[in-house]
Homo-oligomer: A and B are copies of this chain.
Amino acid sequence: QPAPAEAVSAPALGAGSGLHPLTDAAANAQLHEYESSVKHAFDNLVPVLQRIAAERCEPDFVDRAQQIARAELGFDLPDEILDTAWITGLDMRRLFAACVFKTYHRMSDAFFTADPLGGRGGEAFEQFLLECGFHLMDVTPCADGRLAHAISYVLRLPYGRVRRKSYAGSLFDIENTVEKWVETELMRFREGLPNTADAPTRYLKVVMYHGSSVDPAHQGCAAHGSDDAAAARAGLERLKAFRQAIENSFCCGASVDLLLVGLDTDTDAIRVHVPDADGYCDLEHWLDAAKVYEITRGMTPAQARTRIAELVRAHAPGKAAGDALPDGMVRLIGGLIERNLSQIDYVRQYHGGGYADIGHAERFIGAGIGFEEIQLRNLTYFAYLSTVEEGAADLDVGIKIFTGLNVNRGLPVPIIVRYDYHGGVPGARERAVEHCERIAAALKARYPQLCADGMLHCLRAVRDCDAAAPIEIVGSSLDPAASGGH
């Protein structure tokens, strides 16, 4: 059975099922199985811990608790928390944090060992991308948890072949992206990967901003005050600045291609601001995948694909812009929209056409560099950062969100501090571990009261991203040794 990310050229399976003719129903079923099993694992923690709490006066409490945990959660609870319960009472906050961390660890391990979304291959997509005229697709969604599934679900792309780099408000770091461009070009020159430098392909930088169709004034992008137009404008400005940076810093006609995409976080329908041949796009005009869905739902797959290509050209800004638009860009945008049709049906099939959780409902905060395994909506609030000093604003927003989600009902904020490294670089692992420790210490310094109250717990993990290896847990605020100083 084909991995969902590979499905672009597979025959459409949706016909006759009430789905769009281009929808990949098998992929939808597989994606929903994954989403619901992971989210169930997290959402089951509170009811199971409540059952365990109800047993705490029983003489064989520890045995009963472990039996329930094994049966319901599939893992043992940490002995050191249960064993002292008879003296100090059962510390439910520590137990909750430990269970969140354990659940994350199991989910992360499954991801890196079993590749449940089949996104590690993706040769077919890479070929498609090259044929469209692009040697790398680099996507910046907003760091908002409601966009964490942008690659694997919304766009149905293989996560292993697309660069995802999330930033609050989709405001990606230009200097960092220039570095990635340099690295990418050098690989083409030195190693001919993914193609040689003389091939006329380009680096494609995509920004995905977002808004909410159900509650646009409150559930849009927090970084832009829930103002869709402002979010789109800021995204386009950043894109243009990146292109300018490349053109100014390198000679010989160096440039990049740009694409501005919006997401309705309630329905997962995208809108694409189709550019003209010069890369100019219009903030006020876009092609909406939900409309494409309606226009093409009664057609055969082949008819629908032809119509999509026409619609893409028709939405280029200016009079003759559509005709001048390169075939490759039309094909790429058409491909993204086609993939998104499956996701529109996914939300219709499994989430009633619109998510119940239109607002924040993340299960933990992820802070640092990495988190490739997070491909699910509303699972993680991301604070991509190298230091708390630079990432303080994003972290403060995360703590505010989790004050509402967790602290106000007595549960701690679980933070996973993560730092990925390149195992081929000597000492990189040790530096990554130090980096985690520095971030964890800075978190403690920034939120001293939450830490002192046991309302903030922090797991530290690193990963060798060259090795396709699972994460390695390197410490936790729950560790017995560390608990004294906490």
Which residues of A come within 8 Å of B, CB atoms?
Answer: 174-175, 178-179, 182-183, 185-186, 189-191, 197, 240-241, 244-245, 248-252, 254, 386-390, 422, 424-428, 431, 438, 442
Contact = CB atoms under 8 A, between A and B. Distances in A.
Contacts of A189: 185-186, 189-190, 197
A442 B190 contact: no
Contacts of A241: 425-427
B252 A190 contact: yes
Given A183-B182, A390-B438, A428-B175, A190 B254 contact: yes
Contacts of A178: 425
Contacts of A252: 190-191
Nearest to A423: B248
Q: How many copies does the complex hold?
A: 2
A169 to B, nearest CB: 14
A245 B426 contact: yes
Question: Main SS of chain A's interface residues?
Answer: helix
Nearest to A186: B186
Given A179-B179, A389-B387, A425 B186 contact: no
B427 A174 contact: yes
Of listed A240, A250, A424, residue having the most chain B CB within 10 A: A424
Nearest to A174: B425
A186 B191 contact: no
A190 B389 contact: no
Nearest to A435: B390
Contacts of A249: 422, 424-425
14 contacts: A174-B425, A175-B422, A175-B425, A175-B428, A175-B431, A178-B425, A185-B186, A190-B250, A244-B425, A244-B426, A245-B425, A245-B426, A389-B438, A389-B442
A424 B247 CA distance: 9
Contacts of A244: 424-426
